[in-house]
Amino acid sequence: MSLTAIIVITIIGTSLFVAFWPVILDWSRDSLLPWLRANYPQVAELATKALSRMDDVISAVRKSIAEAWQNFRSVLLKLAIYIEKNTEGKWVRRVVSTVRKALDNGQTKLMEITSTKEVDWSELPSEIRERYMKNGQRTCMVDVSKEREAELAI
């Protein structure tokens, strides 16, 4: 496995862990810690302290991510992904970003940046494939900026 793959897997794993931390913490409090107290009381105290310290760090990371996203959102006004089956029967993913660009004279200008790529059926998100199989839906739009804000509870 290449170093790049290891780094990508580590980043994705860490991101998922941080994103799902509140769920992990609730499960630990409701299930893991009571089970440890009942079966391994000597370990329960260590686990409680470890979870508390992890919570301090992960909460700080989550706050930093939210702050970074807010700063980024001052430049990125909208990010949307459009997926559609074109007239040739090929699937196309179009990513459209609306950004605020700072000009040399101190003013700002709105710009729309679009990138388009043909994608294989297997590369489509499962919900898109399912919608197409169920009712022939050939287009879909995902407002990534709005979804990220909901994830970060902004």
Amino acid at 104: D
CA 112 vs. chain centroid, Å, equals: 22
63 and 110 belong to one structural domain:
no
Per-residue pLDDT tens over the stretch 21-61: 899 999 999 999 999 999 999 999 999 999 999 999 999 98
85 and 131 belong to one structural domain:
yes
Q: How many domains does the chain have?
A: 2
- pTM score > 0.75 for this model? no
Which structural domain range is residue 67 located in? 3-71
> Within 13 Å of residue 112, how many CA atoms lie on the same side as its CB?
6
Per-residue pLDDT tens over the stretch 86-105: 888 899 999 999 999 988 89
- CA distances, 144 to each of 84, 89, 104, 108, 149 (Å): 16, 25, 29, 23, 9
